[in-house]
Structure 1
């Protein structure tokens, strides 16, 4: 009944329509019949040409929407919008102009902006010009890594900048062959991990520790800060000596040996690489062993934190015959070219 009413209304309104609109509606109806005749089974399959035909007729005659039967009006409108987007995407494509820079150069710009947080586009652009790259500063700014907050250094950079002014000290116990206890005392600089002082005593009093600090640091070579634990041995005499030398005393928190990690790691290396393999006879024997190990540690032993170099930097030898020299009776060896 409703379809009949719609048909009657369409017949009554047809004299008032223009011939072009009637021809457009007839074209839409005929094309829908063509699509339905192509259907073998299932729902009708529309090709891109069919979609383009319906979209163009809708563009010129929006009144064809009521005569669309095999597709929904919102589907046709969606096709039209998708075509509009593709058209303007094609219109906005780059045609000529400045060519894109190479992938390697883009990666280099990102690397520079990541490794140098305080550099901006002008600074990176200057470095690229000195490296022989011809690139605009605007392109550098385009490919830089964007940051949310203000530039800031990493903790690793902060510690490296302050390491030359920091040293650490600690005591460790060594038993002898007669089960007596000897005390070793070490001081290490954090910058190059160099063992600046090593001492041995049977009675580690505060006066002895203060004297070791004085002998370890001359007036022109004292660090700014000295890290230590809260042992009772470091009494008023030690703190007064540090203040007189111009060194600021930095005791760690109670029961927190990880805060003095550099000295603890050094003592662990001394034990693992030397004392665990030797039976100490007396104080003089321990002093000689630790002196030999200190020479090996500073001048021969390579460190991963120093890019596989020794605290006292070793020169790379590329010519000559390789020869080995025994250290600590053959416990370690040094390889050199002669």
Structure 2
């Protein structure tokens, strides 16, 4: 500190820059001698005052690095950066005012804002108050997700709100032991992916398809929309039956089976999980197998799209010993607690 005082006096008395730089170097050399005289055993011990003195001179005259011997230049630069961080941490400290919001609460506000795009700050603030969080509405608005355009629901929400009123139909072919072809007709509801109807015929016609639709849906449970492909079997008889039941026909674009993805997935699962592992003896045999698979599909089989639940929701069993029940002759098993 005495060396810095001498340097300040010399700086005020000298009008020349070169002399100021020389005085700075002399002050650094003089201070290094003071530090070395202070050393008793081992390494040189620098105090915070020593560090502050050297850093301050380095800020004013970077050329003093040339005369530093007791420390390396990179050490002085590291001290300067650490002091810079400490200074700004001190200037950024809280000086009272509104208490800081926890990280978990901020994450919850962002989560509510993302999951509910139609909610504003008052609505989210009300939910937080009901959850026991004491926070002001302006803080909620601060941590909400900022959106460029007006709030809008996403496609998953839109589809979930309409899927319960949509059904899809399709046909697939199953060969028998005698190399005959049988046609299986399926109807699936998109809401819970439940297989509402399955039947078999060796000779599908428009009249037969219309009768299957009538038997699958009671008049008070008919869906609002029916998705189908553009097979010629869905003729004028089927169209009249749909109009009479109040169902709107929605054929997919030609050569676009992905537009009827739910039923396409189903008619891919039926052969993969059932029919491909059985030799079909005849029409009655196939109908019996498909009826058993339909019960397994709706009541037992879990679906990833339903959060690993069955179309007919299965309760979670936690008590009892686990037992298995054979399905389709042991092709699949149902595990329950008894």
The 1:36/1:160 distance shift into structure 2, 3 A limit, reads: same
Q: Distance in 1 between matches of 2:260 and 2:140?
A: 43
* Shift, 1:154, TM fit: 1.4
Q: Distance in 1 between matches of 2:155 and 2:89?
A: 46
Are the counterparts in 2 of residues 209 and 238 from structure 1 also a CA contact under 8 Å? yes
Give the SS at the match of 2:200: strand
1:199-278 to 2 correspondences below 5 Å: 199-278=199-278
Could you say which residue in structure 2 is the equivalent of 1:334? Answer: 334
Is 2:23 aligned against 1:31? yes
Q: Distance in 2 between matches of 1:177 and 1:55?
A: 94
The 1:336/1:89 distance shift into structure 2, 3 A limit, reads: closer
Could you say which residue in structure 2 is the equivalent of 1:157? Answer: 157
Q: Distance in 1 between matches of 2:199 and 2:294?
A: 11
Could you say which residue in structure 2 is the equivalent of 1:281? Answer: 281
Could you say which residue in structure 1 is the equivalent of 2:100? Answer: 100
Q: Distance in 1 between matches of 2:202 and 2:155?
A: 40
Are the counterparts in 2 of residues 28 and 54 from structure 1 also a CA contact under 8 Å? no
The 1:219/1:51 distance shift into structure 2, 3 A limit, reads: same
Residue segments in structure 1 that go unaligned for 5+ positions in a row: 1-20, 41-46, 57-67, 72-85
Residue segments in structure 2 that go unaligned for 5+ positions in a row: 1-10, 33-50, 65-85
The 1:132/1:30 distance shift into structure 2, 3 A limit, reads: same
* Shift, 1:146, TM fit: 1.7
The 1:336/1:54 distance shift into structure 2, 3 A limit, reads: closer
Are the counterparts in 2 of residues 174 and 184 from structure 1 also a CA contact under 8 Å? yes
Give the SS at the match of 2:15: helix
Q: Does 101-110 or 195-204 show the bigger shift?
A: 101-110
Q: Distance in 2 between matches of 1:289 and 1:51?
A: 87
* Shift, 1:88, TM fit: 9.7
Q: Distance in 2 between matches of 1:146 and 1:116?
A: 13
1:306-321 to 2 correspondences below 5 Å: 306-321=306-321
Q: Deviations over 1:65-116 (max 9, x none)?
A: xxx9969xxxxxxxxxxxxxx9999667531222211111111111111221
* Shift, 1:148, TM fit: 2.2
Give the SS at the match of 1:186: strand
The alignment yields a C-alpha RMSD, in angstroms, of 3.2
Q: Distance in 2 between matches of 1:239 and 1:273?
A: 33
Aligned residue pairs total 293
Q: Distance in 2 between matches of 1:29 and 1:278?
A: 97
Could you say which residue in structure 1 is the equivalent of 2:45? Answer: none
Give the SS at the match of 1:200: strand
| TM-score, reference length from structure 2 | 0.77
Could you say which residue in structure 1 is the equivalent of 2:6? Answer: none
Are the counterparts in 1 of residues 24 and 57 from structure 2 also a CA contact under 8 Å? no
Q: Distance in 2 between matches of 1:132 and 1:297?
A: 43
Q: Distance in 1 between matches of 2:62 and 2:119?
A: 63
Q: Distance in 1 between matches of 2:87 and 2:323?
A: 75
| TM-score, reference length from structure 1 | 0.77
The 1:88/1:284 distance shift into structure 2, 3 A limit, reads: closer
Give the SS at the match of 1:25: coil
The 1:49/1:237 distance shift into structure 2, 3 A limit, reads: same
Could you say which residue in structure 1 is the equivalent of 2:190? Answer: 190
Are the counterparts in 2 of residues 183 and 202 from structure 1 also a CA contact under 8 Å? yes
* Shift, 1:33, TM fit: 5.3
